[in-house]
């Protein structure tokens, strides 16, 4: 079964009205619970650039510190960037980095106590942190690549917990 092309799933697309136009979902009847999501994004580059990144030796300075703050700020700005996202009382955002020989993996976790999940906030944090890393390394590697942006796990809410 292909969930993207399955006609039976059309009714499950909550951001569409019956006439096919977009709507912001009414979440007023949902229960308030603690909700958390973790997402990732990867920036691929050269071993030389990753060494500079890890040592703080990039021409623009400490890329990981800048990217961490950018990711945290992005999580808080998600409803301003993604039109149908609800503004949420975000209670915690973490952005961490795992350096490898040819890549840096961004891991973001967002938590709230609310009526809808924070997957989009976690994805936005990871994506913007990865974009910030790219911005900080582009002077030394114009061929860096952002890849593998995805949700790794979510918890809370009626649909329960989920993890890759």
Catalytic, 135? Answer yes
Structure tokens at 156: 């809370």
Which one, of 52, 50, 70, lies nearest residue 61 by Cα?
52
Report the C-alpha gap between 88 and 37 in whole angstroms: 13
Report the C-alpha gap between 101 and 123 in whole angstroms: 24
Helix orientation angle between 119-137 and 47-55, rounded to the nearest 10 degrees: 100
Residue pair 149/131 in contact by the 8 Å Cβ criterion:
no
Given the residues 135, 141, 148, 161, the one annotated as active site:
135
Q: Which residues are catalytic?
A: 135
């Amino acid at each position: 079964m292909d969930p993207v092309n399955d006609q039976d799933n059309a009714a499950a697309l909550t951001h569409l009205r019956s006439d096919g136009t977009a709507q912001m979902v009414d979440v007023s009847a949902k229960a308030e619970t603690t909700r958390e999501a973790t997402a990732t994004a990867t920036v691929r580059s050269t071993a030389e650039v990753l060494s500079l990144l890890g040592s703080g030796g990039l021409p623009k300075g400490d890329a990981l510190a800048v990217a961490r703050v950018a990711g945290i700020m992005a999580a808080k700005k998600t409803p301003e960037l993604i039109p149908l996202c609800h503004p949420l009382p975000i209670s915690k955002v973490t952005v961490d980095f795992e350096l490898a020989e040819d890549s840096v993996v961004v891991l973001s976790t967002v938590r709230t106590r609310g009526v809808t999940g924070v997957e989009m906030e976690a994805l936005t944090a990871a994506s913007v942190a990865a974009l910030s890393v790219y911005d900080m390394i582009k002077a030394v590697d114009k061929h860096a690549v952002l890849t593998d942006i995805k949700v790794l796990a979510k918890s809370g809410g009626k649909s329960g917990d989920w993890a890759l």
